[in-house]
Amino acid sequence: MLRSVLIANRGEIACRITRTAQRMGLRVIAVYSEADRHALHVRMADTAICIGPANARESYLNVASLLAAARESGAEGIHPGYGFLSENTEFARACSAAALVFIGPPPSAIDKMGSKSAARQLMSQAGVPVLPGYDGADQSDAALTTAAVQVGFPLLVKPTAGGGGKGMRIVRAAAELLEALASARREAAKSFGDDRLLLERFVEVGRHVEIQIFADSHGNAVHLFERDCSLQRRHQKVIEEAPAPGLSDATRTAMGEAAVAAARAVAYEGAGTVEFLYDGSGFYFLEMNTRLQVEHPVTEMITGIDLVEWQLRVACGESLPLKQQEITRNGHAVEARLYAEDPARGFLPSTGTLSRLRFPAQFEHVRVDAGVEQGDSVTVHYDPMIAKIIAWAPDRGSAIDRLRVALEHTEVDGVRCNARFLWEVLGKDAVRSGAVNTRLLEQGKPGTAEESADAQRDAWLIAACARLVCAPGMAGADLAAGGRPWASGTGYRLNGPPARRVALRSGEAAHWLSVESEDTAEAITLDGVRYRVALSEHSAERIAGRIDGRPFRASLAWEGETLHLRRQCLLHTFQPDTGAAPAGSASHEGQCRAPMPGHVLNLRVAENQLVAAGEVMVVLEAMKMEHALTAPWAGRVTAVKVQQGERVDEGADLVFLEPLVVEHETQSAAPD
């Protein structure tokens, strides 16, 4: 076994490999660019060496610098992680030439699978199903056009090198082909330094199902079941799960056997992934990733196997720890990729300092693989992934529910993130039923970090309750605790039902909510509509209960009188709104008063008149300026105390207004 390993990567994968290597007793050497000097993977390592400036080509992609760091640190092996140089044949050969154990497949296997065209040909020879297409050496427009007609439209143009969806073009008619070829070549050359293309039949509604394989140097090869990675956006995976939903046992078995055959065809060693396109009846080889995958945790959670440990052992010449029949799966796991990006702005990356970062670490069967901590920065230099959040449960529905709750308890401030988008995707009917495909997320718009009007209304109701029962210092201000009557927050009065007013502002919006106690609940009036809110839990950090029978939960954070309320992966900030209502005791809550001395320039209401919230009732002229006084809620005018043209003093009663209260229909719903 190795005694030390250098991790030629950064971020969450470097942190993840470090944890396993250190558990196995290995000394871990981290490398970092100048931009990553204080990164988490650097802090976790036993030794850390700077390998260059922020530009990845001069640091993480600089083979000479990586090998020099290995020599300097005395590393015995190099783990490439995924991305960067993980599938670079020349790097694998350079490690071997430097007498370093490359923790990955042999260079020959990387070579054979590095070209999608060569891989297609090899898989076809090995009996692995492939899509009809063209992978020939003649790359002229004429040859590709002839092949396209034979394959038929629609078809997919793909670079033979690289991945991540770069350079891929869907062509639906012959007239679109030449432009697609030209643009695909340009992007492929820019991204991979190789402009060669292949053509494949395009499957309109398909699923991306991949098989995790493992092989050793002793001729053993196994699969560790399948993952479904169909939920993608612009060919980038968003949600992954294992096992894949809705496959027959016969299909699962056939896929696993085909993947092992693919591994044997290239004399594979180590961890790899064979990707298939499943069209509902058959499956076809797409490509083989000769490395560990981002989504490997879902496989680990259903098998109980640490894939990084297997990588390290196989790289040192050990046999696979288990035979195929000894590998079992248990339950279901789902993974969400949490990125610093703004769904409301086309998923543009978001940079900045993570001023607040909280993960649901206390949740059972929830795993978080993160590459950052609170106070770290997301920069423009690298992939903006914050973390992967993975949930396991005995069944698929429970795993999805657990992951949604975990996302709700994930708090990210300082950058925009896609948590709400992920939460909405996991709540889609098609996703929950298992009817997933690679184009599902392109068909709708789940996740613009917006919420419904009902959800926004509920946030105001929850905030009102939180200010009354959860705010620091509120507990001792009532009569039962010996407080002064005029300092009480209970709404106590000698005549009439007790009511409390909560004036709140969030951004440009402001509301004045009335709260009355009703047995075990609170009756809250918002915009003239009455809601019943029953609390089951409340503290300075958390509040939960039911609104008209619908369950809710939210986390709270206080900065003085400012309340930060997090619910359903969105942050709401509320502050007291001193200007939302006239000052006065509870007995004068229905009055419109003169805020200053002046003349009644325009009286626009009469007794018994119905007015809408925000409607102008009186216009005062004071200091040569006009001041419109509006209705704070929808209501009925019960009294008018002034006449047009009359002079009034500051604080004079002008209009009495009674709220229009609508009993909101109680209904039950599933937990949010």
Question: So which residues are the catalytic ones?
Answer: 291
Q: How far is CA 603 from CA 248, 321, 618, 644, 657, in A?
A: 75, 87, 5, 5, 14
Among 547, 590, 560, smallest CA distance to 467 is for: 560
Are residues 352 and 378 in contact, defined by beta-carbon separation less than 8 angstroms? yes
Between CA 488 and CA 499 the distance in angstroms is 12
Burial code (b: 16+ CB inside 10 Å, e: under 16) for 50-80 equals ebbeeebeebbbbbebbbebbeebebbbbbb
Question: What is the torsion angle, in degrees rounded to the nearest 10, for the CA atoms of residue 281, residue 285, residue 289 and residue 290?
Answer: 130
Nearest to 431 by CA among 453, 399, 387: 399
Round to the nearest angstrom and report the end-to-end CA distance of the chain: 49
Q: Which amino acid is at 316?
A: C
d(CA 465, CA 557): 14
Do residues 638 and 650 lie in contact, with contact meaning Cβ atoms separated by under 8 Å?
Answer: no
Nearest CA to 170 out of 204, 145, 197 is that of: 204
Report the number of secondary-structure helices (H) and strands (E) in the chain.
16, 40
**Three-class SS of residue 421?**
helix
Q: What angle do the packed helices 89-97 and 107-114 form, to 10 degrees?
A: 170
**Nearest alpha-carbon partner for 300 in 263, 327, 264, 260:** 327
CA distance 571 to 506: 11
User: By three-state DSSP, how is residue 79 classified?
Assistant: strand
Pick from 125, 145, 144: which is nearest to 135 by CA? 144
Q: Which of 192, 191, 197, 161 is nearest to 178 (CA)?
A: 197
204-228 residues labelled b (16+ CB within 10 A) or e (exposed): eebbbbbbbbbbbeeeebbbbbbbb
CA distance 290 to 287: 10
Cα–Cα distance for residue pair 276/280, rounded to 1 Å: 12
Q: Which two tokens stand for residue 655?
A: 């209009």
Query: The tokens of 447 are what?
Result: 């996740």
